[in-house]
Structure 1
Amino acid sequence: MLLHDQQKMKRSTQDKLELLISLGGLAVLIGAFLVWCSSKVVSIPGFCSALLSAVLFAIVCLRFVPEWMFFWRRRSVLRITKVEQVPTHKMAYKNIELKIFFSLILVNLSVIVAAFLLRRIIGYQETFVDSLEFWTCTDSYHYLAIARDWYLSEGDVDRLVQLVFLPGYPIVVRLVNCILYNYLYSGLLVSLLSFAGAGCVIYRLLLLDFDHQTAIRTIKYFCLLPGAFFFTAPMSESLFLLLCASCLYFARTKRWLLGCLFGTLAAFTRSLGLTLFVPLFFELVAEFKNTPKEKIPIRHFIEKFLESLLVFLGFGAYCLINYFVAGNPFKFLEYQKMHWNQQLGWFFNTACYQLEEAINSYSSNSTNLLGLWLPNLIAIFSSLIIMIFAVRLMRPSYTAWYISYFLIAIGATWLLSAPRYLITLIPVPLAVSLVSKKATINIPISIISGILYTLYFYAFVMRWQVW
């Protein structure tokens, strides 16, 4: 009877803690929204878009809190049951990974060929080799220029502002160029191999929690969601995806330091790599809470926490480069604001101005509407809606990663690349995979994704402000 009362009291305390966290987070969100409303004059459609995004985000967070608390207080850290359809034979396991690797290479090569054929159809008379120059559009040009010339401390302003692009990817391209002697080919090869390698690591990572079908379906959506063609481009997306997946996989398979080092490289490749600290911290606390203290001393967890801080070292190295090149470790912030009007803001402000720009461009600039504003809005709202349904199916550390990543990436004050930013976030394709487990859902979502991918790819090839 006494034990029962103690358990009941403990459960009551936990429920109160969940309620406190939920109400506290909700109060912060409402407060931020009200401050934003009082400081801006927005249209009615813009306000409705901002409000809807805030409500959807709040629902994701409210559904996340109980899963978070459950994750940190129970030995059975997931309510998900692994299905038996996981290859147990080592050779079968390797064969599947090889199939994934070469399939993703084929996907990327197909995208390159598709771009060439589409450009021929719309009137470009060029050879296949010449058509590869098309892939130097968007930010690819900047990455390849950095790989070739490094950052410049003086010269044309368009070259100086390249300091905003992190050095991880250009360094790898420069190393590969020592073999190929062509920066464009080197960039394409790095993206090709990184995406294929990322698929294999993601497959291994997902098998830690899910069945084979879910893992394969997730990889399918990495290839099918709108914006996935950016994994082909000589840009940092594929390498960043590989580093993020490696960080989580090694951290979760008791190779914590190695995982944190991959996190360091991810933060050296893209600033959003800093958000990897969030899932690492969630995993560390869960391990600490679920490990008997007499088996592993607390010093062990302190050491692992300090190792997880290595993630920030990657971005710190980038800031050091800023200092050596421009004399200011945060010069990139100045360039972002000056050249791209880019600062950190609120995601609901992004939802507001994206819809306002879409409405303004409806009659005057249809290419901006179809290539920029509409895809951004679809990516923002669809990811929130999908996550609402996937929260209780997904590992809580991944949901926490999504929340932190979404806040930073979508909070940009002049967001041009929502599909590209979100496609590299592992929880997004995973969420789509989890909610589409049934064929009656999987088939329609696959068809819709395929159609949207095709339309967005067409806009990309036509250069309709797809960034």
Structure 2
Amino acid sequence: MPAYITIFQYAVAAAGTVLFALCLVFSVKSGIKYFKEPEEALVCRESNLRIFARSLLYVLLLKLALAILGAVVTGKGFGMEAAYAWNRWDAPHYIDIAKDGYVATGENSVFIAFFPLFPLLMKAMSFLTGEYFIAGSIVSMLCFAGALFYVYKLVFRDYGAKTARRSQILMVLFPTAFFATIAYTEGLFLLLTAAFMYYLRQRRLWAAAVLGFFAALTRSVGVMLVFPFGVQVLLDALHEGGGARKIIWRIVRRGWKVILIPLGTVVYLLINYAVFGDALHFLVAQREHWSQGMCFIGYTLRVLTNCVFTRDIRLVLELFLPELIAIFVVLWLLLGAARRKNSVMMAQALPLYYMSVSVTWLLSAPRYMLPVLVIYPEMALRAKSRWAFAVVCVLMAAAGIVLAGVFVGGGNVY
């Protein structure tokens, strides 16, 4: 490999690492500002029914656009055959789990790497639909609408109605939002994460902890919600003042509920043990079947950059280049968000981002960026004018059309 390519790889790795470190530094500073001057939450007067109706309408419009795109790309029209063109990659695995549960032998034994809550909900919905893929898609769409509802409520409390509405639109237009309308975990995880953050910011800690438990049963990164929970409890305890003993007592009295979140992961580990006799068997499946393991973010960036120069051009355009773009665009947005008084939101965003990106063989970075909730108000705040907002929407919609078209057409979008 030419020396300049090697140098470029390390430069990309260093740039990503430095940007992430800066996000951490600015987040700590914003936490100090929050401690000194807590935010004044705005009160939303719009009815919950109206907000949810608008959220559901956005999801239905997105699904209609995707149906048209699928009909054009596949040439199969609008029937069930066209609908099943979206049943690709992870979706069939969730269907197999919903049908048969986890199994210890055969090809399906590797599906222990997928968490149980979504296939369980898919199984329940299948009693109404009579089959599984449509059941999973319905679950995802309803959850996505719920996620948009809570994103509106969450953003409104900090920035008002205009930014909240724009944040909803930006989430719907996000290039990988189509995953939240099919039998993937994206819709469910978005709902649980957005609702968790909303109730946490409302100081309804029991509700947040329960939602965190279910998030940890949905995705491996769900357990990262312990960080925003802890930061919120800590900052509130510090702001109320008093001696060290009082502060520690407040933290313990309110914060012990956080144990519910990792309990979701414990339940998943117990399933591993019940099926395989090994609580950590999912790591074996991830490593041997998907070449997945945790690593340093710089390593991931170096591998992706190497793939851009050495892999087939189709793979580069469909997979590796979009991954690098997604990683750095979201890092750029996080850097801006960290400068605002978003300490609790950043405590959700940064651990989730890092755990999602820092894997040895990354295939789904654009999809993993969806639950990084702070990026939507950040984009809305940066695109202040109507023209700027329209340009951002057009660019994201265009990227979404390309990625969704490649996905439904059989390409390498994961």
Question: What corresponds to 2:26 in structure 1?
Answer: 63
In the aligned structure 1, how far is the partner of 2:347 from the partner of 2:201? 16
The answer to whether the aligner puts 1:110 opposite 2:65 as a matched pair is yes
Q: How far apart are residue 118 of structure 1 and its match?
A: 2.2
User: 1:164, 1:333 within 8 Å by CA — same for their partners in 2?
Assistant: yes
User: 1:177, 1:183 within 8 Å by CA — same for their partners in 2?
Assistant: yes
3-state SS, counterpart of residue 463 of structure 1: coil
In the aligned structure 2, how far is the partner of 1:394 from the partner of 1:213? 19
The answer to whether the aligner puts 1:147 opposite 2:108 as a matched pair is no
In the aligned structure 2, how far is the partner of 1:376 from the partner of 1:460? 15
Q: How far apart are residue 464 of structure 1 and its match?
A: 2.2
CA gap 1:94/1:45 in 2 versus in 1, 3 angstroms: same
In the aligned structure 2, how far is the partner of 1:193 from the partner of 1:405? 23
User: 1:191, 1:234 within 8 Å by CA — same for their partners in 2?
Assistant: yes
Higher RCO (CA 8 Å, separation ≥ 6 residues): 2
Q: How far apart are residue 100 of structure 1 and its match?
A: 2.1
Q: What is the aligned counterpart of 1:251 among 200, 218, 224? A: 200
3-state SS, counterpart of residue 343 of structure 1: coil
Number of residue pairs matched by the alignment: 409
Q: What is the aligned counterpart of 1:458 among 392, 405, 411? A: 405
Q: How far apart are residue 293 of structure 1 and its match?
A: 5.2
Question: What corresponds to 2:182 in structure 1?
Answer: 233
Question: What corresponds to 1:432 in structure 2?
Answer: 379
Question: What corresponds to 2:395 in structure 1?
Answer: 448
Question: What corresponds to 2:55 in structure 1?
Answer: 100
In the aligned structure 1, how far is the partner of 2:213 from the partner of 2:77? 41
Q: How far apart are residue 171 of structure 1 and its match?
A: 0.5
Tell me the amino acid that sits aligned with residue 371 of structure 2.
T
5 Å-filtered alignment, 1:390-429, equals 390-393=337-340, 395-429=342-376
User: 2:323, 2:365 within 8 Å by CA — same for their partners in 1?
Assistant: yes
5 Å-filtered alignment, 1:25-174, equals 43-71=6-34, 73-74=35-36, 76-78=37-39, 87-88=44-45, 91=47, 94-120=49-75, 125=76, 128-156=79-107, 159-174=108-123
Tell me the amino acid that sits aligned with residue 55 of structure 1.
V
Q: How far apart are residue 440 of structure 1 and its match?
A: 4.8
3-state SS, counterpart of residue 194 of structure 1: helix
Q: What is the aligned counterpart of 2:238 among 289, 308, 317? A: 289
Structure 1 runs of 4+ off > 4 angstroms? 296-300
User: 2:230, 2:255 within 8 Å by CA — same for their partners in 1?
Assistant: yes
Question: What corresponds to 1:352 in structure 2?
Answer: 302
Question: What corresponds to 1:189 in structure 2?
Answer: 138
The answer to whether the aligner puts 1:322 opposite 2:277 as a matched pair is no
Q: How far apart are residue 108 of structure 1 and its match?
A: 2.5
- TM score, norm. by length of structure 1: 0.83
Cα displacement string for residues 99-142 of structure 1 (whole angstroms, at most 9, x for unaligned residues): 2222223323432332223211xxxx466211121122010011
CA gap 1:254/1:67 in 2 versus in 1, 3 angstroms: closer
Provide the aligned C-alpha RMSD in A.
2.1
Which stretch of structure 1 is more off in the superposition, 306-315 or 108-117?
Answer: 108-117
Tell me the amino acid that sits aligned with residue 56 of structure 1.
L
Cα displacement string for residues 411-436 of structure 1 (whole angstroms, at most 9, x for unaligned residues): 01000000000112212223222322
The answer to whether the aligner puts 1:260 opposite 2:209 as a matched pair is yes
In the aligned structure 2, how far is the partner of 1:443 from the partner of 1:180? 38
In the aligned structure 1, how far is the partner of 2:298 from the partner of 2:118? 31
CA gap 1:55/1:300 in 2 versus in 1, 3 angstroms: closer
Unaligned runs of 5+ in 2: none
User: 1:260, 1:311 within 8 Å by CA — same for their partners in 2?
Assistant: yes
- TM score, norm. by length of structure 2: 0.93
Question: What corresponds to 1:308 in structure 2?
Answer: 258
Q: What is the aligned counterpart of 1:219 among 160, 168, 186? A: 168
In the aligned structure 1, how far is the partner of 2:322 from the partner of 2:111? 25
Which stretch of structure 1 is more off in the superposition, 264-273 or 366-375?
Answer: 366-375
Question: What corresponds to 1:12 in structure 2?
Answer: none
Unaligned runs of 5+ in 1: 1-41
